Amino acid sequence: MLKGKNDKQQENRQLGFKLKFSRLEVFYKFKRLASRIEKNFTVLPFWKSGLIWLAITSMIGITIITTLIIGKNYLRLPQSIPLLYSAIERDWRSVPKIFLFSIPLLSIILGIINIQLLQKVYYMNKRLTLTICVILTVTYFLEFLAVNEILIICTS
């Protein structure tokens, strides 16, 4: 009888192997993190989701900061700014410097449209809403960097 118990214990015991770190382990960690975020995201109602507020505050905050930076540097800017590149003529097309204020204005208009879209899509597809919020936040930061680069080029 003692021999039977030892055999059973030996069967239940698992031997560990030293496996190499999988190259895909980082991907799986990211996937697990995304699934946890998604699980938390799908439980919350629309206005209590953190990513919605991240997209909204980044839209408003970066638009205000961009407007203040343009307003601060407005007098130092030249009358026309090379903003649009023409591939046919292989030259920059200049626009009046007042056109720079249309960038934050368009940002606010598109942000309001995107928030309305997010409200309509949220209950149908929460993953799409999550993706749109992340894309909006990244887009607003890229807009901020682009306006700063335009001002650096024009004022130097």
Q: Whole-angstrom Cα distance, residue 156 to residue 141?
A: 23
Structural domains of the chain, count? 1
Give residue 79's pLDDT: 85
- Residue ranges making up the domain that contains 59: 47-155
Q: Is residue 75 part of a domain?
A: yes
Q: Is the pLDDT at 101 greater than 60, yes or no? A: yes
**Amino acid, res. 155:** T
The mean pLDDT value of the chain amounts to 78
Q: pTM of whole model > 0.75?
A: no
Reported as type and span, the H/E element at residue 141 is helix 126-155
Q: How far is CA 106 from each of CA 53, 76, 103, 111, 114, rounded to the nearest angstrom?
A: 20, 23, 5, 8, 12
Q: Average of pLDDT values for 152-156?
A: 74
Q: Is residue 30 part of a domain?
A: no
Q: Is residue 94 part of a domain?
A: yes
Q: Is residue 12 part of a domain?
A: no
Reported as type and span, the H/E element at residue 151 is helix 126-155
Q: Whole-angstrom Cα distance, residue 66 to residue 143?
A: 9
Give residue 41's pLDDT: 59
Q: Is residue 63 part of a domain?
A: yes
Please state the φ and ψ torsions of residue 83, each to the nearest 5 degrees. -115, -30
Give residue 82's pLDDT: 76
Q: pLDDT digits over 26-73, tens only?
A: 778 888 888 877 676 565 666 666 777 888 888 888 889 888 888 888
Q: Is residue 7 part of a domain?
A: no
Given a contact cutoff of 8 angstroms between Cβ atoms, the answer to whether 111 and 118 are in contact is no
